[in-house]
Amino acid sequence: MGQRTELIYEAPDVLSAPVGTRAITYDILGTARVDWNVLVIVPDRMTGCFIGREAELKQLADWADNQDSRACMLYGDAGLGKTTLVIDFLYRILEGRLTTSWTPSAITYYTAKQTRWGAKRP
């Protein structure tokens, strides 16, 4: 009869690396609103011209204004523009081109592209 062995694999937590091994720095960004400055870690825009996707931007704005939801995950096939959409969404809010009541004190953009999933490779 086969034997069952418990296997646990835990990926390293890239967001809380030991002190001194990873420098996390925020930029202080003035926004279009004079009463709101925010600490940000957001990559540069992916494109100089982002058009369309108005329905998706509206859904993200609705999420941002929902006080009961403070995390959002976008998922889908590679190459559909998820990263470009989210980064442009954040910049539109910061620049005042998209109005929301959401005014966090910090915005940290994190992507799973920064994490390697699965067993370690030699």
43-101: pLDDT as tens digits: 888 888 888 899 999 999 999 999 887 778 888 888 888 889 999 999 999 888 988 88
Q: Is residue 18 part of a domain?
A: no
Write phi, then psi, for 62 (nearest 5 degrees).
-60, -40
DSSP 26: P
Question: Could you give the percent of the chain with pLDDT greater than 90?
Answer: 16
Q: Residues 32-52: what's their mean pLDDT?
A: 84
Q: Is residue 5 part of a domain?
A: no
Q: Is residue 17 part of a domain?
A: no
The pTM (predicted TM-score) of the whole model is 0.68
Range of the domain at 81: 27-114
Report which of residues 55 and 102 the model is more confident about: 55
What is the overall mean pLDDT for the chain? 78
What pLDDT sits at residue 58?
93
What pLDDT sits at residue 20?
54
Of 21-30, 97-106, 109-118, give the range with the top mean pLDDT: 97-106
For residue 59, give the nearest of 91, 85, 32, 97 by alpha carbon: 85
Q: CA distances (Å), 85 to each of 34, 38, 58, 60, 99, in order?
A: 25, 20, 11, 10, 16
Q: How many domains does the chain have?
A: 1
Q: Is pLDDT above 70 for 117?
A: no
Cα–Cα distance for residue pair 91/79, rounded to 1 Å = 20
